[in-house]
Amino acid sequence: MYMLYNSDSFSVLEIEWPESPVQADQADATTQGGYEIVDKMSGKGIFLNGDLARSFRQQALALSQGEVDEDAVDAFIAGYAGLAQQPVVLH
């Protein structure tokens, strides 16, 4: 688990795990995972995986290539956080 972004409004974690428990100890194990986005203002979170996670990653990498400020990053994340339905009870 890696903290990728943390502001007053959002936090973004990258989460990966082995595809099977048997692979957990192998150096060449393949992984799966995604991104957890927590909207601190609404108290809701969402986990992105699959195509949505790949899209998020590509757009985030493109955004990071330019000169951006926290407001621009928060605006980008807000587009995904708007999908959040799960209340964050304990984090």
Report the C-alpha gap between 5 and 15 in whole angstroms. 13
3-41 tens-digit pLDDT: 999 999 999 999 988 876 665 556 655 668 999 999 999
Phi and psi of 62, rounded to 5°?
-65, -40
pTM of this structure: 0.80
From 14-23, 61-70, 72-81, the region with the lowest mean pLDDT: 14-23
Query: Where are the extended beta strands (E) located within the chain?
Result: 2-6, 10-18, 31-39, 44-49, 86-87
